[in-house]
Amino acid sequence: MGNYFNEKMETMSRDEMLALQSERLVDTVRRVYDHVAPYRAKMDAIGIKPEDIRSVEDLSKLPFTTKQDLRDNYPYGLFALPPADVAEIHASSGTTGKQTVVGYSKADLDVWGEIAARAIVAAGGGKDDYLHVSYGYGLFTGGLGLHYGGQKMGATVIPVSAGNTKRQIQIMQDFGSTILACTPSYALYLGETVCDMGVQDKIHLKAGIFGAEPWTEEMRREIEQRLNIKAHDIYGLSEIMGPGVSFECAEQTGMHVNEDHFIVEIIDPDTGEVLPDGSEGELVFTCITKEALPLIRYRTRDISMLSRKPCSCGRTLVKMAKPRGRSDDMLIIRGVNVFPSQVEAALLQVGGKGTAPYYQLIVDRVNNLDTLEVQVEMDSSFFSDTVRGIEEQEKKIAKQLDFILGLSAKVTLVEPKSLARSEGKAVRVIDKRKLHD
């Protein structure tokens, strides 16, 4: 079976895949129209009937779904199944407003396990592996998603969940963890702690599967070096399924979308127009096998692009680029779009030894003008015994930020480990402007 979990689906020809997607789409649209009142109302409003959707080519006739639709129909309004058939509930960690609730049938959970299993196998996982899951377990989809994937492909799952870093490292040593699954910022923190404790030789990880937040190539290299592993990206969002919507193979040049379960599109975020492969735009997914919550053309707010260039791994599934950041994370400062990942890239370019210092963006509004301060933890590569030396470092960082962001920022070096570390998702931004509104 090589390094595929489901060779048939992962290497299917384009024509066969389109036929399969069309068949599944037609069925999904019919189910949604019949069982989800808000969808029926949306389709009726623009005069679209289920019979107008005959193939994937008709997809663009359908209206979009947004996070607002989920909020408006909180908690179960968009479910296509009665409660008796819903097996599990999860909720997104929504940073703004009400959280969004998602549901799964027994069959949905099986599909979820399947797509996460494909990701683990693509990262080099096999039945003999010990899968160390440090994503949080609970309503967040990270923990259980990888857990179901590990069970499906036959690895031994260690459900450690998030937190207690020293204990995590002890478990890695004692239980012989070989594959780590967690957020990239936590992987970095684990790596840092492993190095501080001097136990690199006692850890036997070979690969990592990291997702749920944006990360940079520089971060990948650093995680790989600190933990001596190959780091793979995994993408997902709870509204669509959870981790495993797309995943990285050994080539590490983008994530293969599980197209037999999800149709992916790239649209212009302003006009909603579908863009051709290779264009940058907003990712939109349509669930075509989901029973409990089959979302149609769900707008992710993630900025990415698609590529159908043949992949050396043999998979024919389309690849999406690592999202530049969720637009939830995107800040608009003085009219300029800023992603925290860009700040990270700037810092790595300045830091001589290739390690990523911790940082935090503090955005405020003073006299109607947005201000950006970037606090960066002092690192031995930035330190000098003279004030001038340290101020020069701050200027160097500010100059690089200006170059990358097109925005001037105040840079402040702070003491190591003084910025808040989260054991789950990294808190990269403090936007004080929201507090004043």
- Residues lying near other proteins in the complex (CB under 8 A) are found at 378-380, 383-388, 390-391, 412-418
Q: Which residue blocks in 156-255 are alpha helix, DSSP H?
A: 165-175, 184-197, 217-227
User: Residue 294 in contact with residue 32, Cβ under 8 Å?
Assistant: yes
Query: Which of 127, 149, 145 has its CA nearest to residue 137?
Result: 145
User: Residue 146 in contact with residue 170, Cβ under 8 Å?
Assistant: no
Cβ closer to other proteins: 70 or 409?
A: 409
Task: Identify the three-state secondary structure at position 133.
Answer: strand
Cβ closer to other proteins: 263 or 413?
A: 413
Cβ closer to other proteins: 46 or 387?
A: 387
Q: How far is the CB of 201 from other proteins (least distance, A)?
A: 20
Q: How far is the CB of 422 from other proteins (least distance, A)?
A: 18
Question: How would DSSP label each residue in 311-379?
Answer: PTT---S-EEPPPS-BTTT-EEETTEEE-HHHHHHHHHHH-TTS----EEEEEEEETTEEEEEEEEE--
Q: How far is the CB of 196 from other proteins (least distance, A)?
A: 9
User: Residue 348 in contact with residue 354, Cβ under 8 Å?
Assistant: yes
Query: Which of 389, 378, 385 has its CA nearest to residue 415?
Result: 378
Q: How far is the CB of 385 from other proteins (least distance, A)?
A: 4
Cβ closer to other proteins: 80 or 372?
A: 372
Q: How far is the CB of 397 from other proteins (least distance, A)?
A: 14
Q: How far is the CB of 224 from other proteins (least distance, A)?
A: 25
Cβ closer to other proteins: 47 or 352?
A: 352
Distances (CA, A) of 64 to 41, 142, 151, 271, 321: 13, 25, 34, 12, 22
Cβ closer to other proteins: 190 or 317?
A: 190
Query: Around Cβ 310, how many Cβ atoms within 10 Å?
Result: 9
User: Residue 323 in contact with residue 283, Cβ under 8 Å?
Assistant: yes
Q: How far is the CB of 388 from other proteins (least distance, A)?
A: 8
Cβ closer to other proteins: 217 or 391?
A: 391
User: Residue 116 in contact with residue 123, Cβ under 8 Å?
Assistant: no
Cβ closer to other proteins: 19 or 419?
A: 419
Query: Which of 48, 4, 68, 54 has its CA nearest to residue 26?
Result: 54
Q: Which residue has the tokens 């489901």?
A: 6
Helix (H) or strand (E) holding 144: helix 141-153
Q: Give residues with Cβ within 8 angstroms of 355, minimum separation 6.
A: 222, 379, 381
Cβ closer to other proteins: 96 or 380?
A: 380
Whether the ω angle into residue 416 lies within 30 degrees of 0, i.e. cis, is no
Q: How far is the CB of 148 from other proteins (least distance, A)?
A: 39
Q: How far is the CB of 223 from other proteins (least distance, A)?
A: 21
Cβ closer to other proteins: 55 or 412?
A: 412
Helix (H) or strand (E) holding 90: strand 88-91
Amino acid identity of 250?
A
Q: How far is the CB of 415 from other proteins (least distance, A)?
A: 5
End-to-end alpha carbon distance in the chain: 57
Q: How far is the CB of 382 from other proteins (least distance, A)?
A: 8
Cβ closer to other proteins: 378 or 398?
A: 378
Pairing assessment for the beta strands 262-267 and 331-333 based on DSSP bridges: unpaired
